[in-house]
Amino acid sequence: MLAGRMRQVGAEELNEMLELSDAARLWALVEWEEAERSGLFSGGAPDRADGLQVIKGRG
């Protein structure tokens, strides 16, 4: 945004830069969700086939 205000890039270039950063953000969110769904963050245990989530805790 600063580059646009300082007129270092044109309006069209700034628009393309913002679209690219938004696409990158969406891609990262999809990758994160897929990794989480595959069990990458839960120690390698994928979700159960019946769709239930098992939460282990103290108590």
Domain map (residue ranges) of the chain: 1-59
Is the pLDDT score of 45 beyond 70? no
pTM of the model: 0.55
At residue 22, the pLDDT reads 96
At residue 24, the pLDDT reads 96
The answer to whether 14 and 3 are in contact (CB under 8 A) is yes
User: Tokens for 54?
Assistant: 């098992």
Q: How confident is the model at residue 44 (pLDDT cuts 50, 70, 90)?
A: low
Report the b/e string of 22-57 with b at 16+ CB within 10 A: eeeeeeeeeeeeeeeeeeeeeeeeeeeeeeeeeeee
At residue 1, the pLDDT reads 62
For 6-40, how does the pLDDT look when each residue is reduced to its tens digit (9 = 90+)? 778 888 998 999 999 999 999 999 998 888 888 77
